Structure 1
Amino acid sequence: MGSVQAKAVAGDDLGPTGEERSMLDHFKTIQARIDKVHVDGVGRTRDDLVQDSVQPLFEAANFEEVITRSHEVRTRLEQLGCFRSVDVFIDTSRGPDATDKGLEVTFEVEELRRVVGGINTLVGQNEGSLVLSCRMPNLVGRGERLQGEYTYGTNQTTGINVALLKPFHNAARTTVTGSVYQSGADLPWSGFRQVDRGVLLDLGFRSATDVTHSLRYDVAWRELACLDRATPFDVRKEAGHSLKSAVKHVLTVDKRDSSIFPTEGALLRLNQELAGLGGNVGFLKHEAELQYNLPLPFDVTLQGSLLGGHMKPMYPEKTYSICDRFFLGGPLNVRGFETRGIGPQSDGAFTGADMYWAAALHLYTPLPFRRTKGGFGELFRTHLFVNTGNIGNFRLGDDAAKNAELLMSGLRLAYGAGLSMRLGEIARLELNYCLPVRAQRGDRPVHGLQFGVGVTFL
């Protein structure tokens, strides 16, 4: 057969072209088997972990399977959290143990350094942050990671987090994370500053290919303080200290082809949180998010989104405060209104509510002057949108018609057009021209240009 050498390209997740598919079909006719697998560059990573990762290669029956399984094994090695880079080479088998049509596959790996530090920027909800981090990856050879971060944001937010992550390399991709944290933020729309200090335990796993779960236990000591003398009395009376002990489950079913600019697929996310397992804060909170993307001709996408949330007290002797309630409005939420600029308020300070819903309809199009796919223009989308929503302390009964009438009374409505820019696969930036057409007394609508950047959006 001669010598065949192939080097994988990092991050290449594109599908095969027509010529490549024809070549793969030809490779199916070439019988082959794996005689040996070499993994060069392994130091402190455990041998049994590497052996389990490369085992599927020995099941290959032809050259096409050797290529595809080599790529799959390379991906598995990268996901271990032990290596900086993984390259793969395929060659004919040599030596006294070589078999007819036998091949040898060599993986050249470079392990992560024992200590890694950095200074990075982070994009949050309409905020930029500077992050100082220090990580100790692959602590005992199985992908464990100890990391510490300090965050300082443009909106007077600060954070310190020390976390230990332990992956279990199984089919469910189970990970256990324990962290100790402190975070602080000013909330000028409500007139208070919040500082949280706590311990968080998180169990993450997959129950299917596109279905992920996160089960969390969070114990937080919260401190609320007035920002200035103008803070209203209704906010001042909630200032002070509280202790929240809560369990939370997050279910995510994501079948979209992209999280930032999806062109097809659906997203379903359900959050349930129960607080009151200790401490003096008690409530039951439910939130749901649904998104569907419909591809249209000429690379146009029609997207519909729906959000909703409800919470209620659970224990007579426990309550919850302004920092637990829902808020609505913002450049990536209900556009056409200021951040958290919708809903109940007291003397100009928004106090949140126990229930909300919001919906949006978008029509995304590529830039009109985009010449070819895959270029700089792929970072941008133009869009037309209409969004609406409502928030309040609604008291629902058994009559569905009256409940619907109650939820629709006092709704907010805005529409507009704008330009969106993708920031990697993490966040996006939007510049929109908004026309709010329906608002309630006390709301803070935005007529004209509105700028937003964040990681979640309606």
Structure 2
Amino acid sequence: MEQIPPSAASGTDAIFEIQRESRRLKDLVTNSQERALHVNSIRIEGVEHTRRSVVEALVKPILESQNLGDIVAESREACQRLGRLGVFRDVGVTLDTPTDSFGASGELVDVVLTVKEGPRFYARTGADFSNYDTTTNVTTKISNALGAGECLEANASYAVQPSVALNESAAAFTSETGSYFQVLCSKPLIPTPTFKRPNRADPDARIEFAAYSTNRNMLLHMSHEEQAKGLAARYKTADPYYGSHEFAYDVAWRHLHNVAQDGSWSVRQDAGHTLKSAISHIYSRDHRNDPMLPTAGSYVRTREELSGLGGDVKFVKGEAEGQWAFSLGNGFTLATSIRGGLVLPLLGQRTRVNDRFLFGGPNSIRGFRQSGIGPMDKKDAIGGDAYWGAGLSLFTPLPYLVDKPMKGHFFVNSGTLVPINTGDTVQQNAQRLIASPSVSAGLGLAVRFSILRLEMNYCLPLAAGMTDRIKPGFQFGIGISYM
């Protein structure tokens, strides 16, 4: 019979002993979670500029704990709330035994929260990307200005969008430029804690006040520029599971000006000044595992707007979009997206070109020019009152690039943008909306970056309306949200 060397036997015994000790500690922790334990005090260390009343409101729910498991869970949630306040760079928690560890109510424990505040002054220059613009920007920010998580922010940006010009005989490419300036003040709504009124303060509930000025050059697809100056008040909430809400009131003076000599009558009749006063609501919920190139999860966003609380622009507007991604295994992902919107004038008015929807382009219906789907007047894309769009994409792994943020891309897109004729019935308008959709298909590459997605596709328009502007062949897209 083979003899086990003494050294090997002792090593085996040591492994068994480690496993037994690990199981014992695991059982001890599990059994201790239900042990009656109360919080004697909460000590907060490292607070310099933040008001203690704000921090106390965020950590007070720890006092309601009845056992060790509750204390650990509430302490973890308190650390997360402190982190979401946007003031602290590091947050840690430890449990300590007070001098008198036993009392009438059972065992007591001290909770010690250690925080480190981040810098209060911040400045940044850089570039951001959206569905339609590449933007260079400058941002300055003062965080925790008054000690309660307030934020004072000023930013300026300049937007450029390379694309094909309206007058293709004059130049191959042009650029749409615009500027944006904003001063914003935001504050979390955190009540002062009281022992008579328990509360669970929410650092994600914030109010914002903003003043802004924008100027957009629309000459890529419309013959004018638009300037807007406005004030806005917003209330925001956020929840990682249920989604975020934003309620806003916005009043803006708008000026549609600098109409080109060959501009259409649709643009000319809406030129001049308007005052828009509107309330709006935005809901969004993002459960995707990656917002740029998801392989699983869902995303939903809705927006409703009512304009006409004063001013001379009156309409009701709604828009919704959703995306669902499914992993097929072996690096293959199927993603489907839908979008839709409707705007209706109120009190006998008609919709204006700067309030209608624009549709089409590399981030929505690929294979068509930017805003190239829907009604046209001469060379102007004058927008529509109702639209829908749908997309189906298959993302595939690439040979030798399986671990890279790059996928092969096969897609089919379809959608329609139409005006609403108030003299027609609902059925007639709905029939016109779904009767003859624009359709495209193609293949290409999708590359994920940290803040955007780049697509390089070969597009083939399969069906187009009489006024649509198609763009067969290669098309590049840069943005955050794709269909």
Q: Which amino acid aligns with 1:430?
A: E
Counterpart CA distance in 2 for 1:23 and 1:323 is 66
- Name the counterpart of 1:86: 90
- Name the counterpart of 1:415: 441
Q: Secondary structure at the match of 1:408?
A: helix
After superposition, the Cα gap between the structure-2 partners of 1:55 and 1:24, relative to the gap in structure 1 and judged at 3 Å, is farther
Match of 1:141 among 147, 158, 162: 147
Q: Secondary structure at the match of 2:177?
A: coil
Q: Secondary structure at the match of 1:150?
A: strand
TM-score (normalised: structure 2): 0.80
Q: Do the aligned partners of 1:348 and 1:442 also contact (CA within 8 Å) in 2?
A: no
Counterpart CA distance in 2 for 1:53 and 1:249 is 27
Q: How many percent identity over aligned positions?
A: 30
After superposition, the Cα gap between the structure-2 partners of 1:398 and 1:280, relative to the gap in structure 1 and judged at 3 Å, is closer
- Name the counterpart of 2:228: 196
| CA distances 1:225-273 after superposition (whole Å, capped 9, x unpaired) | 2353332343223221111111112223444333323333333322221
Match of 2:158 among 149, 152, 161: 152
Counterpart CA distance in 2 for 1:362 and 1:119 is 35
- Name the counterpart of 1:72: 77
Counterpart CA distance in 2 for 1:92 and 1:215 is 43
110-119 or 32-41: bigger deviation: 32-41
- Name the counterpart of 1:343: 374
Counterpart CA distance in 1 for 2:23 and 2:56 is 30
Q: Secondary structure at the match of 1:157?
A: strand
Matches within 5 A, 1:23-102: 27-30=29-32, 37-57=42-62, 59=65, 61-62=67-68, 69-83=74-88, 85-88=89-92, 90=94, 93=97, 96-98=99-101
Matches within 5 A, 1:402-441: 405-424=431-450, 426-441=451-466
Q: Secondary structure at the match of 1:28?
A: helix
Q: Secondary structure at the match of 2:237?
A: strand
Q: Do the aligned partners of 1:28 and 1:65 also contact (CA within 8 Å) in 2?
A: no
Q: Which amino acid aligns with 1:110?
A: K
| CA distances 1:38-87 after superposition (whole Å, capped 9, x unpaired) | 4322112121222233334452734x76655544332211111222x114
- Name the counterpart of 2:347: 315
Match of 2:391 among 335, 357, 360: 360
- Name the counterpart of 2:14: none
User: 1:30: Cα distance to partner?
Assistant: 4.6
| Residue-pair matches, total | 428
Q: Does 1:326 align with 2:360?
A: no
After superposition, the Cα gap between the structure-2 partners of 1:74 and 1:289, relative to the gap in structure 1 and judged at 3 Å, is same
After superposition, the Cα gap between the structure-2 partners of 1:224 and 1:296, relative to the gap in structure 1 and judged at 3 Å, is same
Provide the aligned C-alpha RMSD in A. 3.0
Counterpart CA distance in 2 for 1:102 and 1:23 is 21
Counterpart CA distance in 2 for 1:159 and 1:358 is 29
Q: Do the aligned partners of 1:185 and 1:194 also contact (CA within 8 Å) in 2?
A: yes
- Name the counterpart of 1:287: 319
Q: Does 1:212 align with 2:244?
A: yes
Q: Secondary structure at the match of 2:310?
A: strand
- Name the counterpart of 1:174: 205
Counterpart CA distance in 1 for 2:213 and 2:129 is 19
Q: Secondary structure at the match of 2:77?
A: helix
User: 1:29: Cα distance to partner?
Assistant: 3.7
Q: Which amino acid aligns with 1:140?
A: L
Q: Do the aligned partners of 2:81 and 2:202 also contact (CA within 8 Å) in 1?
A: no
After superposition, the Cα gap between the structure-2 partners of 1:206 and 1:111, relative to the gap in structure 1 and judged at 3 Å, is closer
- Name the counterpart of 1:222: 254
- Name the counterpart of 2:134: 128
User: 1:349: Cα distance to partner?
Assistant: 1.4
Q: Does 1:456 align with 2:481?
A: yes
- Name the counterpart of 1:6: none
Q: Do the aligned partners of 1:92 and 1:102 also contact (CA within 8 Å) in 2?
A: no
Q: Do the aligned partners of 2:453 and 2:478 also contact (CA within 8 Å) in 1?
A: yes
